[in-house]
Amino acid sequence: MSKRLVVLDTPANQVACCPPIAEASLDAAQATDLARMFKALGDPIRLRLLSRITSAPEGEICVCDLTGEDFDVTGPTISHHLKTLREAGLIEGERRGTWVYYRPVVANLRQLAALLAI
Amino acid sequence: MSKRLVVLDTPANQVACCPPIAEASLDAAQATDLARMFKALGDPIRLRLLSRITSAPEGEICVCDLTGEDFDVTGPTISHHLKTLREAGLIEGERRGTWVYYRPVVANLRQLAALLAI
DNA sequence: CTCCTGTCTAGATGATTATCTAATCAGCCG
DNA sequence: CGGCTGATTAGATAATCATCTAGACAGGAG
């Protein structure tokens, strides 16, 4: 087991890459991958979770700092949304002892940004 | 009637604005507006439609150039997706005679891009 | 006016999703 | 070990969504 940080199945979601959406018409396969990521962003709770994760001072945040607080949904629901973000390739998670930490997958977030840079 | 281009109800969707998601935690209200736009991008067909619209040489494209072609869905389904993009504030449409033309709402697309620029 | 073509709306249906409660798993501590 | 806390999974349910067919509406052409 060489990888240091991998926990919590993260389907290695690699997408082609990077020209803005206006440069060339997306083909169906690229569109499917990209749409999965955008869909994951298409929920207010997930957007706020991602915002918290990306703005965490240490580059990552403990799930214990996300649950229950000013999100008025239950723990399992938070967990479900984190899983959605994770499966979309936007964040990745790691358990260290008792707690689980999440951090952004910067490359994929940047790719989405680049795509929309008209 | 002073506006030159408005047709097809476009709910004036103005969202706060512009710091990247990592700078400050999104509040619930902003998140709801932004999530609506991301959700509209969360479908492969809509992404490809938007790609076609944003890459149209004249800055706009006729619906007649979008229907039926290499999207294997029916006309009404295309129309429904265009409506979703329109109501999200990502595109706007105008009828000129027989045909309807769509063009991107660049400011809102850029806002999404800025949000993801980590 | 009447037909034809392009686009949209209406209504129905099957699939997906957000959320909950209950139960399970992982790691710590006495 | 046995119990405790943090986090996830399982299963159920209500809501939303993508898609279709059928029908309506807009505008041009005979």
Q: Are A21 and A6 in contact (CB under 8 A)?
A: no
Q: Residue B58 domain-assigned?
A: yes
CB contact under 8 A, B118 and A106: yes
Domain contains A109: yes
Residue A1 pLDDT more than 70? Answer: no
Residues with CB under 7 A from strand C: A 39, 42-43, 45, 72-74, 76-77, 80-81, 84, 95, 97-98; B 8, 62-64, 67, 75-76, 78-80, 82-83, 93, 98-100
Average pLDDT over residues B32-46: 97
> A54 in a domain, yes or no?
yes
Where is pLDDT greater, at A12 or A99? Answer: A99
> Is the predicted pLDDT of residue B52 greater than 60, yes or no?
yes
- Does the residue A92 lie in any domain? yes
Structural domains of chain B, count: 1
Q: Which tokens is A13 given?
A: 């979601």
Residues of A in contact with B110 (CB under 8 A): 116-118
Give the residue numbers spanning the domain of A85. Answer: 28-116
Q: Is the residue at B13 inside a domain?
A: no
pLDDT at B33: 93
Residues B71-83: tens digit of each pLDDT:
989 999 999 999 9
How far is it, in rounded angstroms, from Cα B34 to Cα A38? 11
One-character DSSP codes across A3-63: -SS--S----------S-TTTSPPPHHHHHHHHHHHHHHSSHHHHHHHHHHHT-TTS-EEG
Q: Cβ neighbours of residue A12 under 8 Å, at least 6 residues apart?
A: A89
- Residue A94 forms part of a structural domain: yes
Read off the pLDDT band of A4 (50, 70, 90): very low
The pLDDT of B90-110, averaged and rounded, is 97
- In this prediction, residue B5 carries a pLDDT of 34
Task: Fill in the DSSP letter of residue B63.
Answer: G
CATH of the domain at A42: 1.10.10.10
- From A47, A112, A84, A85, select the one nearest B50 (Cα to Cα): A112
pLDDT digits (tens, 9 = 90+) for A33-45: 999 999 999 999 9
Q: Shortest CA–C1' contact from B98: which nucleotide?
A: D27
The predicted model gives B31-51 an average pLDDT of 97
Strands of the sheet with A61-62, listed across from one edge: A61-62, A99-104, A91-96
Q: Is A69 exposed, middle or buried (0-12, 13-18, 19+ CB in 10 A)?
A: exposed
pLDDT of residue A17: 63
CA distance B38 to A43: 8
Position A48 pLDDT exceeds 50: yes
Please tell me if residue A9 touches chain B, with a CB cutoff of 8 Å: no
